[in-house]
């Protein structure tokens, strides 16, 4: 384990010697109690109860009907509700989910957003209520106003954490808030104050640090920046999310189970809430995860139903007097609930319910549950009191979206200098053997790697689209790639660019700059499953290949690694003289080159300032007993002379006998990608959840839409109009032999909506002319239309028919030759599944 000596000069260094689990003691300032807590602390919000506001709240509440109150507690998605419906149903809030824009237009302008917001507002003020209550719109502006075309995107929180600069975070919070108000929106679902303890979590990049004390400071700064004192046009309501333990789940499984002690929950995972509440945060979002106390075995269940935490801990003990919003369709995950009915969550303390689509049924059900006494009216009154209090505090009653100095102003979405500074500060120099950095400006540079000219890779998830996929550089008109920064630094003529590095052999250059890393993902889709390794090259062999190719040229290699988390990269570091963790820097790629290149004429232009806020792994298979390669707090400076040297390399295929190989669930799971084909033509389905794909365009043989089978927007509805194939492909192939030996089956959920008159085949492929198929027709025709079934077909069945299990390129393909329609999701290969009684089995060979 290496701990940089230089780190001793950083504020953060207190934490670099702190072992995990003692985050609360590593606090870095303020007059706070550093003793270990044994219970939820009483906190004082910087926004005190105001008797005048409270009196006004009571007056409005007294004037409201039950329908108006339940409407107030309802948050619908903009795709599912019109302004007219907002008026009619007294709706209290709308949101735009990730990748949801006015008129489903990815390029909607600031004026379009503002106009829609003004229409919702006007509708909310035009109800027949005695006192109309203005609507509040919430959005995931999680790294800048990140759903908006043309907006500046800041580094994700993982990078902001590494910068260790509280003032910077406060400025970013304030800038993001102004951008948000420009579009007429008043409420941001940020900051995420998760304390991520496992980099396998698909949301690790939304976390500032694995150290609770840092999360406390940064969460507080973010809230101060966003909310200000609600006195300025640029202030918005902030959200601390997701309460509680989202970063504590076993193996980093998104929405999973946190098995931690209460001491760890109150001293580590709750720290962000302490900071945010003291800074005056007005809303808290409940979390999808569940919690079982590792000491006592007490089960709290899913957080949305945990009254002792939402009401007991957060509202009563910590004194939170704002409101709790549920997460997207999260109520439907509670036992006995559906997406449109969940008295349990309301009784547990959820005040506003995010019911993106089923809001109408939710309102009807909830009114009935209050009338029957299942939900006490006092609970409803408390929820509405909290919502009205926040709306009054935020000044919503005195203003309208357009009546704001930033309203409609595209310049209010431009914070490029601030973001560029954030990028500079966030870079962590992990290796600089032989002092290659800073790079001289009089050199010829070979630039390689798939990340060199890619704003989508810089931006990561939650960027224009939910997953951050299905975008290109053209979707980012105000952005610079790292390649653009290199061209500016050394002059266009001194840059040779080759994404895959193939020109390395014959090129004329002095130094290589490789930009490699993870491709975008969000939420569960970014999880690394427990059987998998955290070796970057396992999921992205193309990056190792590029480095191997350029290393052969014998020139120094500087690698910039774009990732949402620390990953095992010993193999990549050995091929690089210098290695920089650049996280997910956002739109300002020139922030990277600002630091990489020396001043004209020599000398450091910008020093590396970043230090790790998460440990960097030394082994490919996570092992809590092994020391990290670089501890938190590590980060070199240009002049550091601490060679990393050659690191041992192990690249196992897997860490445990995989019990499952995920292929598709809500979105493609790398390295697999869903495709459509007819004849020789094919295309990727892609990640745009809002689009209907017709393929081939003009004369479609097949149509694909996103629908719900298990959770929202998790499935692909595929409609065959003519012969076509719907399949998943991994060009680098999988060896499924071990799965086959372990009674593995390929498995997926299906809902048939229109039967086929011709056979429907399930096939697996192992390259051109290699593969096998199984007839699914009989199985499918046994399923009632509209009902969900899990299909399991033994791998052995394909092997018998000639599949080469050692090199499976297509693990799942459905083909039909006549009209047929079905929704598919949760496609995977599962060990043991072939034995299950409900497996389709191996139909007789034709």
Positions touching ligand BGC (CB under 6 A) are: 95, 97-100, 140, 189, 241, 327-328, 466, 523, 689, 712-713
Q: Which is nearer to ligand BGC, 712 or 815 (CB)?
A: 712
Residue closer to ligand BGC by CB (options 244, 557) is 244
Of 148, 154, 307, 164, which is closest to residue 226 (Cα–Cα)?
Answer: 154
In sequence order, which residues have a C-beta less than 8 Å from that of residue 320 and are 6 or more positions away?
43, 45, 273, 277, 284, 314
Which of the 8 DSSP states describes residue 229? T
Q: Which is nearer to ligand BGC, 222 or 561 (CB)?
A: 222
- Cβ 790 to ligand BGC shortest distance, Å: 21
CA-closest candidate to residue 564, choices 426, 714, 418: 426
Query: How would you list the strands of the sheet with 74-77, edge to edge?
Result: 187-188, 136-139, 93-96, 74-77, 353-354
Following DSSP, what letter does each residue of 175-192 receive, concatenated?
HHHHHHHHTT--EE---B
By beta-carbon proximity to ligand BGC, the closer residue of 140 and 668 is 140
Q: Provide the minimum distance between the beta carbon of 77 and ligand BGC in the complex, in angstroms, as a whole number.
A: 8
Query: Nearest distance from residue 330's CB to ligand BGC, in Å?
Result: 8
Q: Residue 505 in contact with residue 552, Cβ under 8 Å?
A: yes
What is the smallest separation between the CB atom of 633 and ligand BGC, expressed in angstroms?
Answer: 28
Residue appearing with tokens 């809001």:
359
Least separation in angstroms between residue 390's CB and ligand BGC is 17
Is it true that the peptide bond before 490 is cis, omega within 30 degrees of 0?
no
The 10 Å Cβ neighbour count of residue 652 is 13
Does residue 523 carry a catalytic annotation?
Answer: yes
Cβ proximity to ligand BGC, 332 vs 485, nearer residue: 332
60 sits in which H/E element: helix 51-62
Minimum distance, C-beta of residue 53 to ligand BGC, in the bound complex (Å): 27
Which is catalytic among the residues 206, 264, 433, 523? Answer: 523
- For the CB of residue 106, give the shortest distance to ligand BGC in the complex, in Å: 13
Residue 713 or 747 having the CB closest to ligand BGC: 713
- Structure tokens belonging to residue 363: 């309102």
Between CA 141 and CA 144 the distance in angstroms is 5
Element (H, E) at 501: none
Report in angstroms how near the CB of residue 468 gets to ligand BGC at its nearest.
12
Q: List C-alpha distances in Å: 622 to 528, 628, 745.
A: 11, 10, 27
Given the complex with ligand BGC, which of 289 and 833 has the nearer CB atom?
289
Residue 565, helix vs strand vs coil: coil
Q: How far apart are CA 688 and CA 713, in angstroms?
A: 11
- Which residue lies nearer to ligand BGC by CB, 87 or 304? 304
Burial tier of 335 (Cβ tally within 10 Å: 0-12, 13-18, 19+): exposed
Alpha carbon separation from 658 to 464, 532, 740, 832 (Å, rounded): 34, 7, 12, 11
Residue 737 CB burial class (10 angstroms; 0-12, 13-18, ≥19): middle
Minimum CB separation from ligand BGC for residue 96, in Å? Answer: 8
Buried b (16+ CB within 10 A) or exposed e, 158-185: bbbbbbbbbebbbbbbbbbbbbbbbbbb
Q: Which residue is nearest to ligand BGC (CB)?
A: 97
Using the minimum distance from each CB to ligand BGC, give the nearer residue, 96 or 576.
96
Query: What DSSP element (H or E) covers 520?
Result: none
Residues 771-805 as b/e (b if ≥16 CB within 10 A, e otherwise) read: bbbbbbbebbeebeeeeebebbbbbbbbbebebbb
Query: Within 13 A of 789's CA, how many CA atoms are on the CB side?
Result: 20
Smallest CA-to-CA distance from 527 within 228, 99, 198 is with: 198
> What's the min distance (Å) between Cβ of 427 and ligand BGC?
26
For ligand BGC, the closer CB: 188 or 483: 188
Catalytic residue (choose from 198, 278, 327, 543): 327
Largest CA distance in the chain: 80
Q: Are strands 511-517 and 557-562 parallel, antiparallel or unpaired?
A: parallel
CB 114 to ligand BGC: min, Å: 20
- Helices marked H in 460-588 — which ranges? 482-490, 536-539, 541-551, 570-574
Q: Which two tokens stand for residue 480?
A: 């610079």
Query: In what side-by-side order are the strands of the sheet with 578-581?
Result: 428-432, 578-581, 557-562, 511-517, 445-448, 495-498
Residue 83 near residue 125, CB atoms below 8 Å:
no
C-beta of 691: minimal distance to ligand BGC in Å? Answer: 13
In angstroms, what is the minimal distance from the CB of 290 to ligand BGC?
Answer: 15
Active site residue 254: no
Q: Which is nearer to ligand BGC, 339 or 533 (CB)?
A: 339
Residue 153 or residue 550: which is nearer to ligand BGC going by CB? 153
List the structure tokens of 660: 């499952």
Q: What is the four-CA torsion angle of 405, 406, 410, 414, rounded to 10 degrees? A: 130
Nearer to ligand BGC by C-beta: 369 or 712?
712
Instruction: Sort strands 788-794 and 810-816 into parallel, antiparallel or unpaired.
Output: unpaired
What residues are labeled active site? 327, 523
């Amino acid at each position: 384990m290496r701990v940089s000596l230089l780190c001793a000069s950083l504020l953060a260094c207190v934490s670099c010697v702190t072992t995990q689990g003692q985050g609360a003691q590593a606090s870095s300032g303020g007059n706070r109690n550093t003793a270990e807590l044994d219970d939820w602390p009483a906190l004082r919000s910087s926004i005190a109860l105001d008797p005048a506001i409270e009196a006004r709240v009571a007056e409005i509440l007294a004037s409201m009907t039950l329908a108006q109150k339940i409407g107030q507690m309802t948050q619908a998605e903009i795709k599912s509700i019109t302004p007219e419906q907002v008026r009619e149903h007294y709706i209290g809030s709308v949101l735009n989910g990730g990748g949801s824009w006015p008129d489903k237009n990815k390029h909607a302008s600031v004026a379009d957003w503002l106009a829609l917001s003004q229409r919702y507002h006007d509708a909310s003020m035009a109800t027949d209520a005695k006192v109309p209550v203005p609507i509040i719109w919430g959005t995931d502006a999680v790294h800048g106003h990140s759903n908006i075309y043309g907006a500046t995107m800041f580094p994700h929180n993982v990078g902001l954490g590494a910068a260790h600069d509280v003032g910077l975070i406060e400025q970013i919070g304030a800038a993001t808030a102004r951008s948000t108000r420009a579009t007429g929106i008043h409420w941001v679902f940020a900051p995420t104050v998760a304390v991520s303890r496992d980099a396998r979590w698909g949301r690790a990049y939304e976390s500032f640090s694995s150290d609770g004390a840092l999360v406390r400071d940064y969460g507080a700064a973010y809230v101060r920046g966003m909310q200000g004192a609600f006195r300025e046009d640029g202030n918005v309501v902030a959200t601390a999310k997701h309460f509680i333990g989202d970063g504590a789940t076993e193996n980093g499984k998104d929405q999973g189970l946190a098995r931690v002690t209460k001491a760890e929950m109150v001293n580590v995972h709750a720290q962000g809430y302490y900071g945010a509440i003291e800074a005056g945060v007005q809303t808290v979002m409940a979390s999808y995860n569940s919690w079982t106390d590792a000491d006592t075995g007490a089960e709290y269940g899913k957080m949305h139903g945990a009254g002792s935490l939402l009401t007991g801990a957060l509202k009563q003990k910590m004194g939170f007097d704002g409101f709790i919003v549920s997460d997207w369709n999260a109520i439907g995950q509670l036992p006995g609930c559906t997406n449109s009915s969940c008295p349990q969550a309301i009784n547990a303390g959820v005040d506003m319910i995010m019911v993106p689509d089923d809001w109408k049924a939710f309102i009807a059900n909830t009114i009935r549950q209050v009338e029957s006494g299942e939900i006490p009216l006092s609970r409803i009154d408390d929820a509405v009191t909290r919502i009205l209090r926040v709306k009054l505090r935020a000044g919503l009653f005195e203003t309208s979206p357009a009546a704001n100095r930033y309203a409609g102003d595209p310049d209010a979405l431009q914070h490029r200098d601030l973001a560029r500074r954030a990028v500079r500060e966030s870079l962590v120099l992990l290796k600089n053997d032989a002092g290659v950095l800073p790079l001289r400006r009089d050199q010829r540079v070979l630039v390689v790697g798939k990340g060199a000219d890619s704003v989508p890779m810089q931006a990561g998830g939650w960027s224009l689209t939910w997953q951050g996929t299905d975008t290109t550089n053209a979707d980012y008109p105000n952005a610079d790639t790292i390649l653009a920064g290199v061209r500016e630094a050394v002059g266009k003529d001194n840059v040779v660019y080759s994404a895959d590095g193939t020109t390395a052999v014959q090129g004329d250059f002095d130094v290589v700059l490789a930009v490699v890393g993870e491709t975008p993902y969000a939420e569960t889709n970014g999880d690394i499953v427990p059987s998998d390794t955290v070796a970057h090259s396992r999921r992205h062999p193309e990056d190792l290949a590029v480095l191997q190719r350029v290393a052969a040229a014998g020139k120094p290699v500087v690698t910039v690694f774009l990732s949402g988390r620390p990953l095992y990269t010993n193999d990549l570091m050995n091929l690089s003289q210098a290695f920089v963790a650049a996280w997910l820097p956002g739109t300002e790629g020139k922030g990277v080159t600002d630091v990489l290149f020396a001043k004209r004429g020599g000398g450091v232009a910008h020093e590396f300032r970043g230090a790790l806020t998460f440990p960097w792994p030394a082994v490919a298979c996570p092992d809590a007993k092994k020391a990290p390669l670089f501890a938190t707090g590590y980060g070199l400076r240009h002049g550091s002379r601490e060679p990393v040297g050659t690191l041992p390399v192990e690249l196992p295929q897997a860490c445990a006998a995989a019990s499952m190989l995920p292929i598709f669930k809500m979105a493609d799971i790398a390295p697999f990608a869903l495709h459509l084909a007819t004849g020789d033509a094919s295309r990727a389905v892609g990640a745009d959840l809002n689009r209907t794909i017709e393929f081939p365009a003009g004369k479609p043989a097949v149509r694909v839409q996103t629908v719900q089978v298990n959770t929202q927007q998790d499935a692909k509805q595929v409609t065959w109009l003519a012969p076509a194939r719907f399949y998943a492909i991994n060009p680098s192939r999988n060896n499924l032999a071990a799965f086959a030996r372990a009674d593995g089956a390929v498995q997926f959920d299906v809902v048939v909506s229109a039967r086929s008159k011709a056979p429907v085949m399930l096939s697996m492929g192992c390259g051109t002319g290699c593969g096998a198929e199984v007839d699914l027709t009989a199985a499918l025709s046994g399923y009632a239309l509209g009902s969900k079934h899990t299909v399991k077909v033994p791998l052995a069945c394909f092997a018998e028919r000639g599949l080469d299990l050692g090199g499976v390129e297509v693990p799942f393909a459905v083909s039909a030759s006549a009209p047929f329609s079905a929704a598919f999701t949760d496609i995977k290969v599962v060990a043991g599944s072939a034995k299950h009684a409900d497996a389709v089995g191996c139909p007789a060979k034709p």
